Amino acid sequence: MTITIDPQRLWNSLMAMAEIGPTENGGSCRLALTDEDAAGRRLFMEWCEALGCTVRIDRIGNLFVRRPGRQNDLDPVGVGSHLDTQPKGGRFDGVLGVLAGLEILRTLHEQGIVTERPLELVVWTNEEGSRFAPAMVASGTYAGRFSVESTLARRDRDGVTLGEALENIRFAGDMPVGKPRFASFLELHIEQGPVLEAAGESIGVVTGVQGMRWFDVTLSGQAAHAGPTPMLSRRDALAAAARLIDRLQAHACHDPDGDSRVTVGCLEIDAPSRNVIPGKVSLTVDLRHTKDGELDALEALFHRELASVGDTFGVTVQSERIWQSPVVHFHQGCIEAVEQAAQWQGVQYRRMMSGAGHDAVNVAAVAPTAMIFVPCRDGISHNEAEYTSPEHCALGTQVLCDALLKRANEA
Amino acid sequence: MTITIDPQRLWNSLMAMAEIGPTENGGSCRLALTDEDAAGRRLFMEWCEALGCTVRIDRIGNLFVRRPGRQNDLDPVGVGSHLDTQPKGGRFDGVLGVLAGLEILRTLHEQGIVTERPLELVVWTNEEGSRFAPAMVASGTYAGRFSVESTLARRDRDGVTLGEALENIRFAGDMPVGKPRFASFLELHIEQGPVLEAAGESIGVVTGVQGMRWFDVTLSGQAAHAGPTPMLSRRDALAAAARLIDRLQAHACHDPDGDSRVTVGCLEIDAPSRNVIPGKVSLTVDLRHTKDGELDALEALFHRELASVGDTFGVTVQSERIWQSPVVHFHQGCIEAVEQAAQWQGVQYRRMMSGAGHDAVNVAAVAPTAMIFVPCRDGISHNEAEYTSPEHCALGTQVLCDALLKRANEA
């Protein structure tokens, strides 16, 4: 039996979703639980309801679209991703995983195919973490990492809680968080890195996800007039921050494995003025590695360098680890289902670790899980220029379909 | 004839002015032409009018307080500074030079003393440059460096022009800009650096001002997801900025003369997010040196380092020199009047170059000019913690008084 998804219908859906919260340069802006996110969710729900599926919403706004199987007393096989974006996000990050699941439901519906286990297509709330830190908070709550109450109480920069934002857009559901449990869970996603494209490969069989740690750092020196303060008398918080960033970058760039990742994404000077030596600087640090032991070493190096610039520049330093995610290894059976599906397509693929966090990382704590990557142009993501070709979107969706059906029809 | 100023009256006026636009930690916030600046100006004008002086306002809001002399057909001797502050400024920067002039007028009034030349106490508009760039724009316009029209059209961050701000607070006067001309001009100011305090000296006889150049810099790389983008594939605009800052700092700190000054006071990431590699960073660069040739060399180094980080990090770089002020050498006769006055007081003093720009730099282009410095605690300025002792305020005012009377009574 050959079940083939419809590449054009998939692409049309992706482009239609991108018209919600469009940005100047062709990307999308649907920050979690804003009006744009709500509009994207409603469009998605209309599409699902047209297939006769039932949409349920849990207390933290996760959407669950059920397609019954032959044995509805069995746990469903889950598939999905997220619809929220970065402030200047692309058209594929998250959206592809959701709309690939929709395309599979449409194909099954069209062909009148019923799986053994029921299917459950999921849209996770606030994956990006741009509006409410941390990222992937809703799948983390589903997996029991956070309490529902603490998640509802997370605040954005304007002080609005996640719970209030859910109420505002009428997406606070009543299904208990953590339901339903999955027999398996699969997530298709764009790679968000340049590895597949550079190697000329079409599918990444994702075997796990690198560990990540997030820090908030403050450097406090002494604001003073730029002109008359001799260089050696200064306690310049920005000069200290610059040295810290440069040292961490240099270390990560010379890591022989190439598996260290260091990113300072935010940096703010307190009361900046062009002729005032910065007295206080706040910045974020994002550390990642594919091995927990190496990530420990990277964190230790970060703390040493931070202390060192504190001494050198006469600034006091503070750092707080606000979030972490250990290295995750996916489920062998799920990985093999994906690998087999890739082989069926006869395309070049590789087993690889994900460099980014995904909702599947959280789900992996409570259900057999794996992921599929497709290349994205120049490895660019979290950016309006993000692009994956219609062919790669379709290929990833077909591999997802085949792996999903394998898991859904297994004994 | 001994003319002695009143230290307590001077101090009381300084503390009264500091109550206008007070900040949380004991400083002042009177950004140029805000309601707070207007309130400070009105208090000052009341004090002057109580002495029978006439206050005139020019088209760009500079205040001129005239005290007649015996020969009112001669050009007056000028004295003054500014009342505007940084966002978190101190109680002495600028204010001391204005209220020292007021204290001298009060002393002369009390003792019934009339000088040969008339005296003119000046408050210059927008010295700090915090609200309207560049700094010292109004004394620069007085000296003919900028047209009145261009100055009135300068905009703050909210798009309000300097002209509109003047109208809003009713300080747009009708006196032509550039009047009156001064026979001499003297400005007392806190040092805003640590040199006098460290040497145990009480007076700086300021012989000139270092040259300064201001740049706006933009680094444009590629925003991308923090996790899956290998370090060596990145075009991280913040990493490039950090390297630039670190290189410039290192150079200035190792300058054998100790006369180079490099400051990055503002740095902003476009659309910052903790898990996005910064794609675009804007920053300011402030370069200063006591010798024009060395300042040329420092600027050349800055351009080389900027090009170098552009190459290294794969980012495009842009820089624009938005303002410059060459090295200034003050007038020998004025310098000698100040030095003689310092010697009369029998205190430790030094001849020195100013590290900061001052309105006197502009006035020096059109009139014989010099400055007097007094120490400030820990060299701290442009900061709420800025402090100069009552004794040093009084000593500086006395030296200013003696030098002023010498210049006002000379043939």
Residue pLDDT, tens place only, B357-381: 899 999 999 999 999 999 999 888 8
Residue A1 has pLDDT above 70, yes or no: no
> What distance, in Å, lies between the first and last C-alpha atoms of chain B?
18
Mutate to test the interface with A, among B255, B276, B290, B361 (most CBs of A within 10 A): B276
d(CA A125, CA A102): 17
**B269 touches A: beta carbon within 8 Å:** yes
Q: Which residues of A touch B266 (CB under 8 A)?
A: 269, 272-274
- Name the more confident of A225 and A215: A215
In sequence order, what are the residues at sequence separation of 6 or more whose Cβ sits closer than 8 angstroms to the Cβ of residue B398?
A: B4, B5, B341, B345
Residue B313 has pLDDT above 70, yes or no: yes
d(CA B43, CA B16): 9
Asked if B275 and A286 come within 8 Å (Cβ–Cβ), the reply is: yes
Give A382's pLDDT tier (boundaries 50, 70, 90): confident
**A258 touches B: beta carbon within 8 Å:** yes
Give A160's pLDDT tier (boundaries 50, 70, 90): very high
B95-111 vs B35-49: helix crossing angle, rounded to 10: 10
With contact defined as beta carbons under 8 Å apart, do A114 and A407 qualify? no
Residue A208: closest CA among A22, A5, A44, A360: A360
**A85 touches B: beta carbon within 8 Å:** no
Give B258's pLDDT tier (boundaries 50, 70, 90): confident
Which 8-state DSSP code applies to residue A377? G
Q: Using CA coordinates, name the residue in chain A closest to B235.
A: A380
What would the DSSP string read from start to end of B22-54? Answer: B-TTS-B---TTSHHHHHHHHHHHHHHHTTT-E
Asked if A242 and B223 come within 8 Å (Cβ–Cβ), the reply is: no
**B223 touches A: beta carbon within 8 Å:** yes
Chain A: nearest CA to B143, how far in angstroms? 22
**A357 touches B: beta carbon within 8 Å:** yes
Give B3's pLDDT tier (boundaries 50, 70, 90): very high
CATH class of the domain at B7-210+327-409: alpha beta
**A255 touches B: beta carbon within 8 Å:** yes
Q: Using CA coordinates, name the residue in chain B closest to A357.
A: B227
Q: Which residues of B touch A381 (CB under 8 A)?
A: 224-225, 228
d(CA A299, CA A319): 11
CATH class of the domain at A211-325: alpha beta
Tell how many helices (H) and how many strands (E) occur in chain A: 12, 16
3-state SS class at A332: helix
3-state SS class at A181: coil
With contact defined as beta carbons under 8 Å apart, do A332 and A185 qualify? no
Which residue in the block uniquely carries the two structure tokens 């260089």?
A231
Q: Which residues of B touch A273 (CB under 8 A)?
A: 86-87, 130, 265-266, 382
Q: Using CA coordinates, name the residue in chain B closest to A93.
A: B225
Q: Using CA coordinates, name the residue in chain B closest to A226.
A: B263
Task: Tell me which of 3.40.50.2000, 3.30.450.20, 3.30.70.360, 3.30.300.30 is the CATH number of domain B219-325.
Answer: 3.30.70.360
pLDDT of residue A291: 93
Asked if A223 and B382 come within 8 Å (Cβ–Cβ), the reply is: yes
d(CA A195, CA B115): 82
What would the DSSP string read from start to end of B90-107? Answer: -SSTTHHHHHHHHHHHHH
If phi > 0 it is left, if psi is from -120 to 50 it is alpha, else beta; for residue A112 that is left
Residue A361: closest CA among A136, A125, A180: A136
Strands A203-209 and A369-374: antiparallel
Which of B135, B225, B227 is the closest to A275 by Cβ?
A: B135
**Rounded to 5, what percent of chain B is helix, strand, coil?**
35, 25, 40
What tokens were used for A223? 């604001």
Asked if B272 and A267 come within 8 Å (Cβ–Cβ), the reply is: yes
pLDDT of residue A224: 86
**A225 touches B: beta carbon within 8 Å:** yes
**B276 touches A: beta carbon within 8 Å:** yes
pLDDT in tens, B206-218: 999 999 999 999 9
Dihedrals phi, psi of B395, to nearest 5 degrees: -65, -45
pTM, to two decimals: 0.79
pLDDT in tens, B41-87: 999 999 999 999 999 999 999 999 999 999 999 999 999 999 999 99
pLDDT of residue A197: 96
B122 to B67, B174, B354, B407: CA distances (angstroms)? 11, 16, 20, 16
**A277 touches B: beta carbon within 8 Å:** yes
Domain parsing of chain A, residue ranges:
7-209+327-409, 211-325
Residue B1 has pLDDT above 60, yes or no: no
What mean pLDDT is predicted for residues A162-174? Answer: 98
**B226 touches A: beta carbon within 8 Å:** yes
Asked if A355 and B194 come within 8 Å (Cβ–Cβ), the reply is: no
Asked if B255 and A354 come within 8 Å (Cβ–Cβ), the reply is: no
> What distance, in Å, lies between the first and last C-alpha atoms of chain A?
18
3-state SS class at B368: coil
**How many Cβ atoms sit within 10 Å of the Cβ of residue A170?**
11
With contact defined as beta carbons under 8 Å apart, do A279 and A223 qualify? yes
In sequence order, what are the residues at sequence separation of 6 or more whose Cβ sits closer than 8 angstroms to the Cβ of residue B94?
A: B81, B82, B83, B84, B85, B127, B128, B189
Residue A60: closest CA among A129, A123, A130: A123
What mean pLDDT is predicted for residues A33-40? Answer: 98
pLDDT of residue A268: 98
In sequence order, what are the residues at sequence separation of 6 or more whose Cβ sits closer than 8 angstroms to the Cβ of residue B401?
A: B3, B5, B100, B103, B104, B107, B341
Residue B249 has pLDDT above 80, yes or no: yes
With contact defined as beta carbons under 8 Å apart, do A319 and A213 qualify? no
d(CA A276, CA A376): 43
Which residue in the block uniquely carries the two structure tokens 């505007």?
B84
Q: Which of residues 5-64 of B touch A (CB under 8 A)?
A: none
What mean pLDDT is predicted for residues A249-272? Answer: 94
**A262 touches B: beta carbon within 8 Å:** yes
Give A11's pLDDT tier (boundaries 50, 70, 90): very high
CA torsion angle for A144, A145, A149, A150 (degrees, to 10)? 180
**A265 touches B: beta carbon within 8 Å:** yes
In sequence order, what are the residues at sequence separation of 6 or more whose Cβ sits closer than 8 angstroms to the Cβ of residue A103?
A: A5, A6, A9, A10, A13, A397, A401
Chain B: nearest CA to A266, how far in angstroms? 5
pLDDT of residue A182: 98
N residues, chain A: 411
What mean pLDDT is predicted for residues B255-283? Answer: 94
Domain spanning A7-209+327-409, CATH architecture: 3-Layer(aba) Sandwich (3.40)
Chain A: nearest CA to B59, how far in angstroms? 27
Average pLDDT, chain B: 96
What tokens were used for B405? 């009377």
Q: Using CA coordinates, name the residue in chain B closest to A270.
A: B266
Q: Using CA coordinates, name the residue in chain B closest to A244.
A: B242
pLDDT of residue A145: 94
d(CA A21, CA A23): 7
Asked if B228 and A380 come within 8 Å (Cβ–Cβ), the reply is: no
Q: Using CA coordinates, name the residue in chain A closest to B278.
A: A265
Which of B229, B271, B356 is the closest to A228 by Cβ?
A: B356
**Interface size between A and B, measured as CB pairs under 8 A:** 258
Give A285's pLDDT tier (boundaries 50, 70, 90): very high
What mean pLDDT is predicted for residues B258-267? Answer: 95
Q: Which of residues 93-132 of A touch B (CB under 8 A)?
A: 93, 129-130
With contact defined as beta carbons under 8 Å apart, do A237 and A206 qualify? no
Q: Which residues of A touch B82 (CB under 8 A)?
A: none
pLDDT of residue A257: 83
Mutate to test the interface with B, among A382, A383, A384, A386 (most CBs of B within 10 A): A382
Evaluate whether B7-210+327-409 and B219-325 have a shared fold: no
